[in-house]
Amino acid sequence: MRIRSQGPLVFVAFLSAASLLAQEIPLPSGSIKINLPEGSPLLIAGTVTDQSRATARGAAMVIDLDLLLQLRNVSGRQIHGVTLRVVAQEVTVGGYGSVAYPSLHVGPGETFPARIAMQLVRPTQAVSASLVEVNLDGVLFQDLSFYGPDRLNSRRSMTAREMEAQRDRDYFKRVLAQAGPEGLKTAMLESLTRQAERPRLDVRVIRGGPAITSAANPAAERTAEFAFLQLPNSPVAPVDGYARIAGNEARAPRINVRNDSRQVVKYVEIGWLVRDQNGQQYMAAAIPTADPGLLLRPGETARVLQDAALDFSKDGRALNVRSMTGFVSQVQFADGRMWVPDRDSLEKESLLGLLPPSNEEQRLSDLYRKKGINALVEELKKY
């Protein structure tokens, strides 16, 4: 996320008065509360809060939270993901947030750092014993089992990330087994090249209502249909869909999907690619299921939609959309299990060069870039 004549003098005076009130102070001791429920697989091993600050601005308090937690795994299982929910005020815009730590490998008894750096807002008149509360939303274990209230749907997001991490790590392990360190080195150089050359697009989401260009020039708007990639083994198939396009803006995407599996589906996410006037393709967005109560039974069809407009630009310039392509990028079943595309399918459909790399592929390629092939080989041998 100005008027003429005497107005500017009033505005400057207002800012001067406000600056006297905007005094930055350290957060007092005990103003941050860490809530870990009884039976939690995590315990607090240490906290550092001295860099956090609060500033009073009129009727609001702005909190610049800079918190370092040391969390210990007190379970008997390896932890692969953690999500924390951070709250200053539940009902205030900017009053809460979250932070996720994917691709962890924290064994029983081990400790890991969790840094929380964000800005929060709360009314100065709000009455509570603490200014900020940190709550555990979820813990994902190596076997993809989950602990936590899951208010943020963190089970779904962390499970998908972990499955992508396992998929990509297994790929590099196979390369090492089949082609040795030199083959792994070649695969890593290819990964680094893809990451550096991946075409990037700036996307601004406008919730509810038409985008600016569409509203100003409705005659320029047209209906564009999606083309679809049919990924092998996908439990859900895209059937048809469209969006309203005007120049560099697209709004109100509608996509129908069919459950081709034998399981009940509760969440579907569609990857959205756009192509510009020069034929360059970009990963634009992911369209999630709009209905939180979705239960898509085998053989049934449902609509994935968003009441939003998307504004596309590149390097500060509007990008005119010529065509759109969609593909199923995520599926969650009613029992909590997830499906994500396998790496062979992504490579076959030329998606590896368009999608952001998984956290694990980034981690492994960074390890290779900083410490070399021998360190990467030793890391992969741990799994």
CATH number of the structural domain spanning residue 19: 2.60.40
Number of domains in the chain: 3
pTM of the predicted model as reported, rounded to 2 decimal places: 0.84
Identify the pLDDT of residue 4.
29
The reply to whether 22 and 73 lie within a common domain is yes
Residue 237 included in any domain: yes
Predicted confidence (pLDDT) per residue in 2-20, tens digit? 322 333 323 222 333 343 3
Nearest-CA neighbor of 34 among 70, 80, 73, 60? 70
DSSP state of 319: -
The reply to whether 340 and 215 lie within a common domain is yes
The reply to whether 343 and 242 lie within a common domain is yes
What b/e string do you get for 174-194 counting C-beta neighbours within 10 Å, with b at 16 or more?
ebbeeeeeeebbebbeebbeb
Residue 57 included in any domain: yes
The reply to whether 296 and 167 lie within a common domain is no
Residue 2 included in any domain: no
Residue 251 included in any domain: yes
Residue 84 included in any domain: yes
How far, rounded to the nearest angstrom, does the alpha carbon of residue 258 sit from its chain's CA centroid? 25
Identify the pLDDT of residue 216.
42
Query: Which position has the higher pLDDT, 310 or 74?
Result: 74
Domain range enclosing 289: 202-352
Q: How far apart are the first and last CA of the chain?
A: 42
CB 331 within 8 A of CB 286: no
- Say yes or no to pLDDT of 218 above 70: no
Q: Give the 3-state secondary structure percentages of the chain, helix then strand then coil, rounded to 5.
A: 25, 40, 35
The reply to whether 82 and 146 lie within a common domain is yes
Of the residues 84, 118, 152, the one at which a domain ends: 152
In a 13 Å sphere around the CA of 36, the CA atoms on its Cβ side amount to 16
Predicted confidence (pLDDT) per residue in 120-171, tens digit? 998 877 666 789 999 999 999 999 999 999 999 999 999 999 999 999 999 9
Q: How far apart are CA 340 and CA 214, in angstroms?
A: 34
- Say yes or no to pLDDT of 1 above 60: no
The reply to whether 34 and 83 lie within a common domain is yes
Q: How far apart are CA 367 and CA 374, in angstroms?
A: 10
Q: Which two tokens stand for residue 347?
A: 């490579």
Q: How far apart are CA 337 and CA 141, in angstroms?
A: 14
CB 296 within 8 A of CB 302: yes
Identify the pLDDT of residue 22.
54
The reply to whether 66 and 191 lie within a common domain is no
The reply to whether 332 and 367 lie within a common domain is no
Helix H or strand E encompassing 367? helix 359-371
Nearest-CA neighbor of 188 among 382, 357, 383, 381? 357
The reply to whether 69 and 129 lie within a common domain is yes
Q: How far apart are CA 133 and CA 96, in angstroms?
A: 9
Q: How far apart are CA 85 and CA 194, in angstroms?
A: 33
Identify the pLDDT of residue 211.
43
The predicted model gives 246-256 an average pLDDT of 90
Of the residues 91, 123, 152, the one at which a domain ends: 152
Identify the pLDDT of residue 113.
96
The single-letter code of the amino acid at 289 is: T
Q: How far apart are CA 252 and CA 244, in angstroms?
A: 6
Q: Across the strands, what pairs with 43?
A: 72
Distances in Å between the Cα of 256 and the Cα atoms of 225, 229, 282 are: 12, 14, 22
Q: How far apart are CA 169 and CA 175, in angstroms?
A: 10
SS3 309: strand
Q: Across the strands, what pairs with 64?
A: 53, 119
Q: Which two tokens stand for residue 276?
A: 């510009």
The reply to whether 182 and 285 lie within a common domain is no
The reply to whether 84 and 147 lie within a common domain is yes
Of the residues 117, 152, 187, the one at which a domain ends: 152
Identify the pLDDT of residue 7.
31
Distances in Å between the Cα of 16 and the Cα atoms of 9, 13, 19, 214 are: 11, 5, 5, 40
Residue 1 included in any domain: no
Q: How far apart are CA 238 and CA 302, in angstroms?
A: 10
Identify the pLDDT of residue 208.
56
Nearest-CA neighbor of 42 among 99, 6, 81, 98? 81
> How sure is the predictor about 383, in pLDDT bands with cuts at 50, 70 and 90?
confident
Predicted confidence (pLDDT) per residue in 57-113, tens digit? 878 889 999 999 999 999 999 999 999 999 998 877 788 999 999 889 999 999 999
Predicted confidence (pLDDT) per residue in 311-365, tens digit? 999 998 999 999 999 999 999 999 999 999 999 999 999 999 999 999 999 999 9
Mean confidence (pLDDT) of the chain: 87
The reply to whether 289 and 376 lie within a common domain is no
